Structure 1
């Protein structure tokens, strides 16, 4: 606990509010030194009824998208057509996951990802608004945490209209300690809390401002600190109480400050919202319970991360189809560019294998959600993997297309070239590495923090003062943990059920290296002790080892499933190639755990941040930092 205090108030809040349930699932077991292939078989399949429903809704979406939404026009105007919004409301597409009894379509997570991927493949801005409404908007929090009365009151409404989410502030992003938005308790004469008055300003309100005067959404889910008086915000002795409220955007005191513009995802409605003495009744407190707001926000993000990964995969598939066409159509130096090794072998092959691994991971994670199984770690790994590897795929497509990739689709069309929107994909894909938990926070922060939690809990006894008896018992437990990592954790039967014989050597690699990962965590924890929490570069290497082992295992199991259930053997070669490449990356990551330049990197970073290189950096340029009068105090 002393260490947590040293890391600051924001870390203390995150630690206090985190979901403390023991992690279960394939990724969690990797941290324990097990590749649990029994979890990968039988591969999850939706019911025929669910598949038919998803396909019907997908067809309705295809018709709507093709007739009502021109993605190039949305990109140009930064507006989704009013007719399209009306149709989305009429079909109930803002309630894709809400129960049918409240007017929703009640899609499973697998079906929801399928439908949202379709939308993302056509128009990123529309997908962003739909995804937000269906996960972090009012519907999700009320569905999971609201009272029966709140469900009956709000869910029929938000299944037919977009709803928004307000969490981030100018000084409070991933670190909630600096949140300034507060909900002042309003009490009756007897002292009972009957309502709240909200005051503050929210940055990047999702599905908030439609323009600089009007809101898109009639309802917002707003996170605020609950206080008896504003002075409590600066009182560090007070534990912050975060609460979630349903707020009507036409309530007195709610005002659009500005709609924000972004590099990509045009048509996404997002901006700054002011709340000035806005009264909400106690019935608008989600769950009618204070102190659950931060947890509600975190829980809403879990399944949302799988959806982001699905949207990334949709664009990756678009880019690969462009690659295949362009690799065959374009000739340079006497042959098709796809036959040049740097393009075909160097880009297209690895990108195709990554896409297959992404799909396997996303389907596995979605299947766990559909069966009400823990998928918190799988969701986070999917999101980071798909956004990071997907970004490379999109960038490779731009590189392969050359100047035509950087040119807008409108410009290409004007001179008679096919209007392939690679430039738009490139702009709109980039925020996937930031939204719903940046890659850095999810990898070195969330996934590793949660993955090593069991080791941390037992290790705290060793690092505390006194109590030699408990320390001796903890030491024996760690020795036993290390000993177990030298022996396989599963029998041959579960491997035979999950993985085709042609891929089993890769599965055995995953099992063997999961044990090596557990040894690395235990030994480095003992080495660094309380300093471990600062070793983010080490954490990042561990994360990518976990991600690669998960991707390898999921790809092998998925290819085996497709062969057995659909007699489709095309994907054995893809899974095999992915695993061959992943094995090299995993081995290199372990080498970097043992031998690296982390200390030298830190020294260079310190010198840079202290301004040692400023004079050189400013040579022969006009410094925008100086032009704006910005000061860097380290």
Structure 2
């Protein structure tokens, strides 16, 4: 798990802005001499492009559907045993009570192939693609999040680096072990001094004089599967020589480390609020001798490895959370259908109806995002990093709200252990924290988008220096700005949606146009200083998150209606309700982002926070002490 930091330091924000930690998010601009040799690949991310006021619809319309009929049938047959595993073998309450998953349960999971879901069949895995894996994540999320962490820490991040960056020899050696030979894997990045700020890790690996080994020393904390793993993806500082300057610099390198190398030990399992069944420990490395062939990726490019591991697996959280929400809604609905108060079933009360509707809206949007992303990834998309970050934020916060509301609907019964909701709530709390805290990911979304929009503004500035040679580009930009500013032209989503969703599409399009204008206004106003305006960036991120939710549901509901599926009317209504609610939130966030009054509010908030920290807590006179 990544360390839990709320708001990072200014250094962290600068690191994000420079893409030292999240460097894979936005393609870097090549030098002019390189750009001339290799055509620049267009960024197809829907979210990145709306920051610059441009609609790129490829990834969102029509709703992606990459699985063939044969694959869909295969998926069902592959997942049926997992459904039976959770109903007949696994016991989530027992796992939670004992803070451990018993050996028989884990053995059954291994026998099902559950630990090698995305490992190619030639290495002993099930060979599922991202969409099939997401479907399994839903099943896990609906049944046992603690076991899900054991499973996910093993393959979603534990050995994912070997799948992404492993040499043929590394894959041949390790993938069969972690897929089917009951060899657990873990992802070891976080240290006491480095949570979301991965640049500050202190573990160090020194190359031996004969260049055959690295000697690793250091420690990691909060490592999921840390006490179980025999194979770990470990990140440590290494001395690298700059090929251009000859200067020596410390850069992070990724390694495949086996416990059998010696010098690898782990502490006792941590006592946690939730996901108690998952094994979480400190891991210590003392003079661990790592063969040079166990470098994962290139030396000095460990950040790239870490980032892409996290980015490539983050979509699974959205799918998992959608399954958890579905379970919570089922529990709440069963109670609402049977519970009688004041002479009628509580499902007749408007307050309960509002809760259930909102819970279903959040679940639908979360699920729509998760499978839109997974299918884009399966179709070969490289531009999904903003979308996966948004999905992680939205799903983890929505799931917490849905579970909380389910408990409220059940009243006192919801607070009791028997219903399972209190365990789900405890388990859910971590998801807003690990794999990048939601606060850091919001800054990542906003800064990545702002960076992309800023590059576009620079292109316009360069064009204006030589207008005669760039008339087409200048007129196009001038026309777009003029029409959207006065409410004419702008984004048109009408051709992408069914007639029933035209009004919702208009609202969403208006939000996209306002979002683009607000981003540009903020950029012009603050320029590079925008990195210091975290609250403004948060408003931009929140608006972006809601826009993506609207787009994902518009697209999915349109597909459902066009196929005339039995759920079409309900999905259309979910989408309409979401567009109304989300539009209001988007407009509010964007007004605040561009409001001059926000600066005064931000200054006041900063003053309050500083005083609270100076006083180590609350700073006010006790009521009974007033004279």
Partner secondary structure for residue 300 of structure 2: coil
Equivalent of 1:508 in 506, 521, 526: 506
Q: In structure 2, what is the equivalent of residue 414 of structure 1?
A: none
**Does the CA contact (< 8 Å) of 2:507 and 2:579 recur in 1?**
no
Decide which moves more: 571-580 or 24-33: 24-33
Equivalent of 2:206 in 184, 205, 208: 184
Q: In structure 1, what is the equivalent of residue 387 of structure 2?
A: 378
Equivalent of 1:609 in 609, 613, 616: 613
Q: Aligned partners of 1:430, 1:16: CA distance in 2, in Å?
A: 24
2:232 paired with 1:220: yes
**Does the CA contact (< 8 Å) of 2:240 and 2:251 recur in 1?**
no
2:59 paired with 1:42: no
Q: Tell me how far 1:177 sits from its aligned partner.
A: 2.8
Partner secondary structure for residue 323 of structure 1: helix
2:197 paired with 1:175: yes
Q: In structure 1, what is the equivalent of residue 20 of structure 2?
A: 14
Query: Are the structure 2 counterparts of residues 471 and 614 from structure 1 closer, same or farther at C-alpha, using a change threshold of 3 Å?
Result: farther
Q: Aligned partners of 1:308, 1:617: CA distance in 2, in Å?
A: 44
Query: Are the structure 2 counterparts of residues 473 and 74 from structure 1 closer, same or farther at C-alpha, using a change threshold of 3 Å?
Result: farther
1:54-203 mapped onto 2 (5 Å cutoff):
54-138=75-159, 140-160=160-180, 161=182, 162-188=184-210, 193-203=211-221
Q: In structure 1, what is the equivalent of residue 428 of structure 2?
A: 429
Q: Tell me how far 1:126 sits from its aligned partner.
A: 1.0
Q: In structure 1, what is the equivalent of residue 30 of structure 2?
A: none
Tell me the number of residue pairs that the alignment of Structure 1 and Structure 2 aligns. 583
Q: Aligned partners of 2:194, 2:223: CA distance in 1, in Å?
A: 13
Q: In structure 2, what is the equivalent of residue 588 of structure 1?
A: 588
Q: Tell me how far 1:327 sits from its aligned partner.
A: 1.4
Query: Are the structure 2 counterparts of residues 10 and 511 from structure 1 closer, same or farther at C-alpha, using a change threshold of 3 Å?
Result: closer
Partner secondary structure for residue 259 of structure 1: coil
Q: In structure 2, what is the equivalent of residue 291 of structure 1?
A: 300
1:299-310 mapped onto 2 (5 Å cutoff):
299-310=308-319
1:459-608 mapped onto 2 (5 Å cutoff):
481=477, 483-485=479-481, 486-487=483-484, 495-496=494-495, 498-568=496-566, 569-570=568-569, 571-595=571-595, 596=598, 597-608=601-612
**Does the CA contact (< 8 Å) of 1:34 and 1:489 recur in 2?**
no
Decide which moves more: 258-267 or 589-598: 589-598
* Aligned Cα root-mean-square deviation (Å): 3.1
Partner secondary structure for residue 563 of structure 2: helix
Equivalent of 2:265 in 255, 263, 275: 255
Q: In structure 2, what is the equivalent of residue 413 of structure 1?
A: none
Deviations 1:250-298 (A, max 9, x none): 32111112321211112111110110000010111113x2012111111
TM-score, scaled to structure 2: 0.86
Query: Are the structure 2 counterparts of residues 315 and 16 from structure 1 closer, same or farther at C-alpha, using a change threshold of 3 Å?
Result: closer
Query: Are the structure 2 counterparts of residues 538 and 43 from structure 1 closer, same or farther at C-alpha, using a change threshold of 3 Å?
Result: same
Q: Aligned partners of 2:194, 2:131: CA distance in 1, in Å?
A: 33
Q: Tell me how far 1:206 sits from its aligned partner.
A: 2.1
Deviations 1:171-194 (A, max 9, x none): 111112321101111121xxxx21
Q: Tell me how far 1:617 sits from its aligned partner.
A: 8.1
**Does the CA contact (< 8 Å) of 1:478 and 1:522 recur in 2?**
no
**Does the CA contact (< 8 Å) of 2:255 and 2:294 recur in 1?**
yes
**Does the CA contact (< 8 Å) of 1:100 and 1:106 recur in 2?**
yes
Query: Are the structure 2 counterparts of residues 80 and 6 from structure 1 closer, same or farther at C-alpha, using a change threshold of 3 Å?
Result: closer
TM-score, scaled to structure 1: 0.85
Partner secondary structure for residue 539 of structure 1: helix
**Does the CA contact (< 8 Å) of 2:254 and 2:296 recur in 1?**
yes
**Does the CA contact (< 8 Å) of 1:13 and 1:176 recur in 2?**
no
Q: Which runs of 5+ in 1 are unaligned?
A: 210-215, 230-236, 410-419, 621-634
